[in-house]
Amino acid sequence: MLAAAIQLTAGPDSGANFGAAVAAVREAADRGAALVVLPEKWLAIGGAQELRPVAEPIDGPLVERLRGLAEELGIDLVAGSISEGPGVAAAGGLRVVAGPGADGSPDERFFNTSLHLTPDGEIAAAYRKVHLFDADVAGRRYRESDAERHGREPVVSRLVRAPEFAIGMAICFDLRFPDLFRTLASGGANVITLPSAFTQRTTRDHWEVLVRARAIELGAFVVAANQTGVHADGSRSGGQSMIVDPWGRVLARADEDGADIVFAELDLGAVATAREALPVLSLRQPEVYERPVGDGLLG
């Protein structure tokens, strides 16, 4: 199966961002990709000021257009991530209800949500980002939790027309938390989709190391679509979107700068070979990891 990771820059004009994303998805499909992954927050990036104008529930018009695009092109589309607005939303049997805040008042923050849309135009799965980017990098403070809520559920979704491919869904900062990825592998994932907006600094120093590490640990493909360039809020993403095989080899990589699409064939035989050679998942000893730390002395 041919997979594609799309690299874009979310600028201040959400309409232009939408047009660029649709054009890139069409190009990927025209070039034969059956699985296409957009980056994180490709419609708008930033805090509440930038996200509020584009936030909507997953039964809203944005997702309706994306569902139609996936159906028209006959592809599985992991639609990067969108800002899912609070309230009650229902689509394809999925729903989310905004819960109370810490003080009991309604929580009006958004979810950072990645959707798997099928060639039939259905929503197969919705993953809400579990780990929010609250960090200080290169003199800039990032606090995603000011505008966004934590997701609470790992998600694995099978491709409808190729059910042997099971995608474990993650978003950006999740990459630093291997426990989530082990859970996805335990749930049957053999391909990880990773829409991202990694900062330029962390892309340069950490991105490839972490993407390859997750692929090696799980014996799975990773399709990692990153943003690039300067955004409306002044932040900068580092590009280098890539597809990595289960042995940790980089099959395709974009440059740091500029919009791009990278492609690679995903052969599940490579997953079987890697997991047979290094059966890490089956050799785990979870009962040991859960024990209190001791001194190792007998007696």
**103 falls within a domain:** no
The mean of the pLDDT values for the chain is 92
Q: Closest by alpha carbon to 173, among 146, 147, 143?
A: 143
**69 falls within a domain:** yes
Is 172 assigned a catalytic role? Answer: yes
Task: Say yes or no to pLDDT of 98 above 80.
Answer: no
**139 falls within a domain:** yes
List the Cα angle 75/81/86 in 5-degree steps: 125
Three-state DSSP at 232 gives coil
pLDDT value of position 135: 87
Instruction: Tell me which residue has tokens 């900068």.
Output: 236
**36 falls within a domain:** yes
- Mean pLDDT over 62-73 rounds to 98
pLDDT value of position 24: 98
Three-state DSSP at 150 gives coil
Q: Which two tokens stand for residue 2?
A: 């041919």
Is 129 assigned a catalytic role? Answer: yes
Q: Beta strands 89-91 and 260-265: pairing type? A: unpaired
Which is the catalytic residue, given 41, 129, 144, 148? 129
Instruction: Tell me which residue has tokens 């959707």.
Output: 115
pLDDT tens digits, one per residue of 280-295:
999 999 999 989 998 8
CATH code (residue 19): 3.60.110.10
pLDDT value of position 103: 52
Which are the contacts of 52, defined by CB distance < 8 A and separation ≥ 6?
A: 83
Which is the catalytic residue, given 40, 50, 56, 144? 40
pLDDT value of position 108: 81
Three-state DSSP at 11 gives coil
**67 falls within a domain:** yes
Q: How far apart are CA 178 and CA 176, in angstroms?
A: 6
Asked if 151 and 128 touch (Cβ cutoff 8 Å), the reply is: yes
pLDDT value of position 94: 37
Task: Say yes or no to pLDDT of 104 above 80.
Answer: no
List for the chain the helix, strand, coil content (%; round to 5). 30, 30, 40
Report residue 36: phi and psi, to 5°. Answer: -125, 135
Which is the catalytic residue, given 41, 84, 144, 172? 172
What is the tally of structural domains in the chain?
1
pLDDT value of position 262: 98
- Mean pLDDT over 215-230 rounds to 98
Question: For residue 243, which amino acid is it?
Answer: I
Is 72 assigned a catalytic role? Answer: no
Q: How far apart are CA 28 and CA 3, in angstroms?
A: 9
**222 falls within a domain:** yes
**289 falls within a domain:** no
pLDDT value of position 91: 37
Confidence class of residue 93 from pLDDT cuts 50, 70 and 90? Answer: very low
pLDDT value of position 154: 97
- Mean pLDDT over 8-14 rounds to 95
pLDDT value of position 89: 39
pLDDT value of position 279: 95
- Domain of 186 in residue numbering reads as 2-97+108-284
- Mean pLDDT over 27-50 rounds to 95
**163 falls within a domain:** yes
- Mean pLDDT over 153-180 rounds to 96
Does this model's pTM top 0.85? yes
- Mean pLDDT over 9-38 rounds to 97
